[in-house]
Chains A and B, each alone.
Chain A
Amino acid sequence: MTRVLAIMMGAAFILLLATLTLVVMPYLQMSAEAVPPGLKPYTQQELMGRQTYIANGCMYCHSQQPRDPSFASGDKDRGWGRPSVPGDYANDWPHLMGTMRTGPDLFNIGARQPSEDWHLIHLYNPQAVMKGSIMPPYRFLFRHVEKAGPNDKVVNMPPPYGPGSGQLIVTEEGMALVAYLLSLDHTYPAPTLPQAKIDEE
Chain B
Amino acid sequence: MTPTIALLLIITFLLSTVGLLVLIWSISTNQFSNSQNAARTIFTPGEEGHSEDPAREDTSAYEGDSEAAKEAFTARWVQDQSSKPAVLIWLSSAVFWLLIGSFYGLLASIKMHYPEFMADSQWWTFGRIRPMHLNAVVYGWSSMAGIGAVLFLVPRLFKTPLRGTPYAVTGAIIWNIGVILGLGAINFGLSDGQEWLEFPWQVDFLFVLGGALCAVPLLLTCARRTVEHLYVSSWYFLAALVWFPFLFFIANVPKVFPGATGATVNWWFAHNVLGLWVTPLGIGIAYYIIPKILGRPIISYKLSLIGFWSLALFYSQVGIHHLIGGPIPTWLVTLSIVHSVMMSIPVITVAINHHGTMWGNFGRIKESPTLRFVWIGALMYTATSLQGSLMALRSVNVITHFTHYTIAHAHLGMYAFLSFILFGAIYFIMPRLTDREWPWRRMISLHFWLVAIGILIYFVSLTTAGWLQGLALLDAKTPFLEIVQMTIPYLQARSLGGGLMVAGHIVFVVHFIFMLSRRGAMTQGPTLFRVRTKEISQ
Contact = CB atoms under 8 A, between A and B. Distances in A.
A193 B484 CA distance: 32
A23 B320 CA distance: 10
A134 B126 CA distance: 11
A88 B125 contact: no
A56 B122 CA distance: 8
A100 B18 contact: no
A157 B195 CA distance: 34
A14 B312 contact: yes
A196 interface: no
B506 interface: no
Interface string B2-16: 001001100110110
A188 interface: no
Contact of B260 (A10, A13, A25, A95): A95
Interface string A174-198: 0000000000000000000000000
Interface string B117-137: 001111001111011000000
A30 B329 contact: yes
B122 A74 contact: no
A126 interface: yes
Contacts of A65: 325-327
A14 B111 CA distance: 42
A88 B327 contact: yes
13 contacts: A3-B31, A10-B22, A10-B312, A15-B276, A60-B195, A71-B325, A93-B258, A95-B194, A99-B402, A104-B480, A134-B112, A136-B115, A139-B119
A52 B127 CA distance: 11
A68 B238 contact: no
Interface stretch (A41-49, A78-86, A148-156, A158-166): A78-86
Contacts of B263: 89, 95, 97
Interface in A88-133: 88-104, 126, 130, 132-133
Contact of B261 (A13, A30, A60): A30
Contacts of B488: 134
A68 B325 contact: yes
A175 to B, nearest CB: 16
Contacts of B394: 71
B327 A56 contact: no
Interface stretch (B60-68, B239-247, B511-519): B239-247
B332 A22 contact: yes
Interface residues of A, number: 77
Interface in B208-246: 222-223, 230, 235, 238-239, 241-243, 246
B189 to A, nearest CB: 3
Contacts of B125: 56-57, 136, 138, 140
A170 to B, nearest CB: 15
B11 A134 contact: no
Contacts of B239: 7-8, 11
A145 interface: no
B191 A54 contact: yes
B268 A22 contact: yes
A192 to B, nearest CB: 10
B260 A86 contact: yes
B111 A99 contact: no
Contact of A14 (B247, B260, B265, B316): B316
Which are the 8 A-B pairs with shortest beta-carbon distances? A57-B127, A89-B259, A55-B189, A77-B476, A18-B316, A67-B325, A86-B260, A11-B239
A63 B401 CA distance: 11
Nearest to A50: B193
Contacts of B535: none
Contacts of B8: 21, 25
Interface of A: 1, 3-4, 6-8, 10-15, 17-23, 25-27, 29-31, 51-52, 54-61, 63, 65, 67-68, 71-74, 77-78, 83-86, 88-104, 126, 130, 132-140
Nearest to B7: A25
Contact of A54 (B29, B126, B193): B193
Nearest to A35: B259
The listed residue with most B CB atoms (<10 A of its CB), out of A20, A22, A90, is A22
Contact of B319 (A14, A22, A101): A22
A4 B222 contact: yes
A31 B307 CA distance: 36
A152 B116 CA distance: 27
B165 interface: no
A143 to B, nearest CB: 13
Contacts of A92: 258-259, 262
Contacts of B25: 6
Nearest to B480: A104
B79 interface: no
Interface string B363-387: 0000000000000000000000000
B476 A73 contact: yes
Nearest to B15: A17
Given A27-B261, A85-B327, 19 more contacts: A4-B222, A10-B312, A12-B242, A14-B15, A15-B247, A19-B250, A20-B11, A22-B320, A23-B264, A25-B7, A26-B328, A57-B191, A72-B398, A86-B327, A89-B258, A97-B326, A99-B402, A103-B484, A126-B115
A128 to B, nearest CB: 13
Contacts of B336: 22
B396 interface: no
A58 B127 contact: yes
Nearest to B491: A134
Given A26-B332, A60-B131, A94-B193, A101 B261 contact: no
A101 B403 contact: yes
A31 B122 contact: no
Contacts of B250: 19, 23
Nearest to B230: A3
Given A57-B191, A63-B402, A132-B485, A140 B268 contact: no
B475 A86 contact: no
Contacts of A96: 193
A60 B22 CA distance: 41
B106 to A, nearest CB: 16
